[in-house]
Structure formats: C-alpha cells, structure tokens
Amino acid sequence: MIVFWGGLSPHATLALHVAVFVLAFSFVAASLLSYYSRNGLVTALYRVAAVWMGILNFLFFAALFCWVVWLGVLLLPPHAIPKQTRPLIVGVLLIAAAVTAAYGLINARIVRVVSTTVRLANLPPQWRGRTALVMSDLHLGHVNGIGFSRRIAALAARLNPDILFIPGDVFDGTKVDAYGVIAAFKDLAPPFGIYFATGNHDEFGDAAGFLAALGLAGIRVLSNEKVVVDGLQILGVPYHDTTYPMRLRTNLHGLGIDKSTASILLNHVPNRLPIVEEAGVSLQLSGHTHGGQFVPFTWLTQRVFGKFTHGLHAFGSLQVLTSYGAGTWGPPMRVGTKPEVVLLRFD
C-alpha cells in the first residue's frame, strides 16, 4: 500500500517500512515474553501486538485489493480515471480495513448463547429435559483475564444448567495467576458438576499449575477417565493422547464404555471420529476450531474440518457438537464467526 499510494518522501517511506517490519515481529516477541513473565508491561505489549496482528491481516487484503481495483481501472478507456485517484483507492480500502478490524474487536467481546437440542439413543430417562452448558476455548491469559472469566461465570450462573462441560483450552498457555483467573467458577454449582478435558493450550507452559487451579475451582479434570453421573457416562481424554490414533483407540477401549447406555466424550479437537464412533461414544463435545475466528482463516478451517468445524452433526452413530468457543487466541477479533456458549437440551 505504501508503494501504491506514492507521493511520500523517502524519509516517510523508510519510516513506514521500518515500522511495519518491526510490528510484523511484535506478536512473536510478545508471545515469547508472555510464556515466561506476567506483569502489566508484558500484558500491555501482548495485547497491542495481538491487535496489530489482526489489523495486519485486514491491511494485507486491503493492499491486494488496491492492485485488483487498479487493474480494473487500467482496463478502462485511456484517461477515463486519472492516476491521481490511486490515493483515493488506498484511502477507501484503508477505511474498510479499519472498520472491519473494529467490528472484529467488538464482535469478539459479545458472547452469544446458542441453544441446541440433542437426542441420544439409550439416554437414561432421568436426563430427558435436562440441560448442559458447553463452554469451550476461554483462552484465559493476557487478553482474556479475570474480568472476562467473571463475565463468563456470571453468564453460566444465569443459564443455570444441570451440568457444565468444558472441552479444552480454558487457559491460553501463557504465564498467569491460574487460580486467580478461574476462581470465579468456584461459585458455580450445577447439580451434576463441572467436567473438563485438556485442549492443546492447556498443555503449554505450567500445565500442572493449570490443572491444579481447575481442581481448586471445583472443576473435575478427566484424563482418560470415565465417571457415571446419574446413569450418564461422562468421558474425558487429554489433547496429547488424541494426537496418536492408536493411543486414543487403546485409551477409549480401556475406559469400559457401556454401549447399552448413552455416553458423552470431552475431546478438544473434532477429529479421530472413526475411532470415537467405533468405541461406542454417543456424543462428542469439541472446540478448538474457533471456526477460523476471522476471514480468511474461516475458509481454511472449513477445508480442514468440513461440517464438523461448528455445530451439531452426525458421524454414523456418533454425534459431534463443536463450539466456536467463548474466547479468542492471538488477535482478539472475530469476523465471520461469533463467540458462544452452547446450551444443550437432552431430548
């Protein structure tokens, strides 16, 4: 865009090039710092760098569109549009990029409640009509801190579910006061408990400290475990075990899943579905995808996960519910997706 704009002095052009170059590496530097330190300066740097990364994404596409628009102009009759209109093209697309980024920032802070009904074969009769809240990908850390955690906990309290499921990525993996940012969940008291299985970010950094904090907050961590809750089987597998198909198959079979009654698996990533179906699981709850979070990654994620990127879908006898998640990773923006928690009603 700097080249396309033209008319800048050599000093101004150099200054802009240097600024863009330095900012391009700011998120990498901030991320490295955030894994080893937590203080106000690191948090501020991380937030600024994360926002810049999102803005840079939209600036990149604005720059591409500048040349696309100009190519269209060149196809018009000679002198139909003077060359002096190039700054106008840049200005319009810069404004469009800024507005899109601003929308993404605002949209990412408005957590929606999505209501879904699921019908499971062999569901214990006492579970019909009950509700479960599925709350994935909070990514608590330098961007989503204590205030965000309290807001999500308050939302869960208002929805008053019978049981709460968290299929991974409560933490962002950065260095934080783990119990401090999750403490608000200690006040939640769904009748049948809160259950969690790790996502990839929960296994970064101080993984042991993250899990200890969850336990102190009254959240049951399931690591290749099965619990039976009023007749319903609840299963949880940690992210690292799901990356190895043979290990996942062995662990699931080792849980002793009763195929004659309904079961729910917390599995962070919506993959390995043939293995999960073969094990006899009724419903898998996942997150991880964020739906791509913002364009163009929304298209890429759809290519990777297909229909299982988001929503409730069947894979043979297995049903898979994937949530966009409530938080964000990296740029705190959402364009093309919406942050959510899912209120699931058993029918």
Q: What is the 8-class DSSP label of residue 335? A: B
Q: How far, in Å, CA of 67 to CA of 337, rounded? A: 28
Taking alpha carbons only, the member of 164, 130, 131 closest to residue 326 is 164
Non-local (6+) Cβ contacts of 74 within 8 A are none
Query: And the tokens for 112?
Result: 């929606």
What CATH number is attached to the domain comprising 116? 3.60.21.10
Query: And the tokens for 277?
Result: 């179906």
For 325, left (φ over 0), alpha (ψ -120 to 50), or beta? left
Looking at the fold, whether 223 and 280 belong to one and the same domain comes out as yes
Instruction: Say how many C-beta atoms besides its own lie within 10 A of residue 102's C-beta.
Output: 13
End-of-domain residue from the set 89, 107, 125: 107
Looking at the fold, whether 211 and 230 belong to one and the same domain comes out as yes
Upstream peptide bond of 296 is cis (omega within 30 degrees of 0): yes
3-state secondary structure of 208: helix
Q: How far, in Å, CA of 244 to CA of 117, rounded? A: 32
For 6, left (φ over 0), alpha (ψ -120 to 50), or beta? left
Looking at the fold, whether 160 and 76 belong to one and the same domain comes out as no
Looking at the fold, whether 55 and 181 belong to one and the same domain comes out as no
The answer to whether residues 38 and 171 touch, using CB atoms and an 8 Å cutoff, is: no
Q: What is the signed CA dihedral for 278, 280, 284, 289, rounded to 10 degrees?
A: -10
End-of-domain residue from the set 107, 124, 153: 107
Residues in a beta bridge with 320: 284, 313
Domain that holds residue 83: 2-107
Looking at the fold, whether 332 and 203 belong to one and the same domain comes out as yes
pLDDT value for 337: 98
The answer to whether residues 263 and 235 touch, using CB atoms and an 8 Å cutoff, is: yes
Taking alpha carbons only, the member of 219, 220, 287, 281 closest to residue 248 is 281
pLDDT value for 2: 59
Looking at the fold, whether 101 and 162 belong to one and the same domain comes out as no
Looking at the fold, whether 211 and 321 belong to one and the same domain comes out as yes
pLDDT value for 304: 96
Render pLDDT for 85-106 as a digit per residue (tens, 0 to 9). Answer: 777 888 899 999 999 999 999 9
Q: Average of pLDDT values for 224-229?
A: 98
Non-local (6+) Cβ contacts of 22 within 8 A are none
| Average predicted confidence (pLDDT) for the chain | 92
Render pLDDT for 120-145 as a digit per residue (tens, 0 to 9). Answer: 999 999 999 999 999 999 999 999 99
DSSP string of 28-57, one letter each residue: HHHHHHHTT--SHHHHHHHHHHHHHHHHHH
pLDDT value for 85: 77
Q: How far, in Å, CA of 94 to CA of 341, rounded? A: 33
Looking at the fold, whether 82 and 134 belong to one and the same domain comes out as no
Looking at the fold, whether 132 and 61 belong to one and the same domain comes out as no
Looking at the fold, whether 163 and 298 belong to one and the same domain comes out as yes
Non-local (6+) Cβ contacts of 102 within 8 A are none
Q: How far, in Å, CA of 284 to CA of 274, rounded? A: 12
Residue 169 banded pLDDT, cuts 50, 70, 90: very high
Looking at the fold, whether 231 and 86 belong to one and the same domain comes out as no
Render pLDDT for 2-22 as a digit per residue (tens, 0 to 9). Answer: 566 666 677 766 777 677 777
3-state secondary structure of 22: helix
Looking at the fold, whether 91 and 204 belong to one and the same domain comes out as no
End-of-domain residue from the set 107, 134, 150: 107
Total domains present in the chain: 2
Question: Which amino acid type is present at position 313?
Answer: H
Residue 335 pLDDT exceeds 90: yes
